[in-house]
Amino acid sequence: MPPTTKHLQTSISRTGKDYAELHAWINDPDQQLDRHDFTKIIDFAPEIQAKFGPEGLREYIEHLREDLDSKFTKIWGKDVATRDEALDYYGIRRRGRDYTLDMADIKLLQDADMSAEDLDHSLKVAGRALDIARRVVSGSGTQVDMELVGRGALFHDLGKAKTHAIEHGLLGAEMGKALGLPDTINVIMEKHIRGGLTAAEATELGLPVKDYTLHKLEERIIIYADRLVDIIYDGLVKVDGAADAEQRFEDILNNEIKYGKNDITRERYFGYHREIQALMGH
């Protein structure tokens, strides 16, 4: 991420003010992760606007945008060290181990006009899914296709480059097919809505009537990771990192309709949670 001095300079060029106190607040070492999370802008906005005014709030958003741009620049950069630093931020790279995301895949998402926020989410899901998959292998010896987990997680929201409506899964699968992605990945895009709908549920939601249930462990790992990333970063529920989100997973889904949706969806997620936690040896 750009140093604070760089943010001060860009603030001066935009507004004539450096907003030093604001940038120091954003980069507080103990709060930096939360205060750089796009999904929490709405939580911090009243406090920032009250103290720094509307212009200060805009500077906060610009600060986050500049940091995100910097991460993506590192990903696209030719320098291996800075590229790997950016991948480490998302928990994706593992030196000398199983699977690392292909830069060409990340560029496909950017070229599809996926927003920075959605790309950030997709990278986080890929990192979380790969971490879970590795723990499954370590905990139970179960064989997991790491490439399918990594690529499937990365592309699961491809359709959001066009729409955030419930049809984004089907649209993503169509886009993936046009891009020449494997059917195993396109199926994940199509199925990930509500964690794998039955034909009856698809009918209720106005989607093409078919069975969207998840038959592969890799698919269930991705869906579980997607839900965990939402819980960890949405800010709707206060959690102390990934381990806390996993430990409180069922309680959170029982108490927050955004995550549990309804009885059928909630029980489906509980099944994935219990299966995967057991495989990890918990």
pTM of the model: 0.72
Lowest mean pLDDT among 63-72, 85-94, 232-241: 85-94
193 near 157, Cβ under 8 Å?
Answer: no
Tell me what the mean pLDDT of segment 112-136 comes to: 92
pLDDT band, very low/low/confident/very high, at 275 (cuts 50, 70, 90): very high
- Provide the CATH number for the domain formed by 96-279 in this structure: 1.10.3210
For residue 162, the model assigns a pLDDT of 95
Q: Name the segment(s) of the chain with CATH classification 1.10.3210.
A: 96-279
Alpha carbons 148 and 126: distance in angstroms, whole number: 10
HSE-CB for 63 with a 13 A CA cutoff: 31
pLDDT band, very low/low/confident/very high, at 231 (cuts 50, 70, 90): very high
pLDDT band, very low/low/confident/very high, at 6 (cuts 50, 70, 90): confident
pLDDT band, very low/low/confident/very high, at 83 (cuts 50, 70, 90): low
Stronger pLDDT, 14 or 134, i.e. the higher one: 134
Confidence check: pLDDT of 235 > 80: yes
Say how many C-beta atoms besides its own lie within 10 A of residue 68's C-beta.
17
Tell me what the mean pLDDT of segment 238-261 comes to: 93
Identify the top-confidence range among 16-25, 75-84, 249-258. 249-258
Confidence check: pLDDT of 247 > 90: yes
**58 three-class SS:** helix
Confidence check: pLDDT of 192 > 70: yes
Strands (E), 123-168: none
pLDDT band, very low/low/confident/very high, at 61 (cuts 50, 70, 90): confident
Alpha carbons 199 and 214: distance in angstroms, whole number: 12
For residue 75, the model assigns a pLDDT of 63
Task: Work out whether the CA dihedral 49, 53, 55, 56 comes out positive or negative.
Answer: negative
For residue 243, the model assigns a pLDDT of 92
Per-residue model confidence as pLDDT tens digits over 198-222? 899 999 999 999 889 999 999 999 9
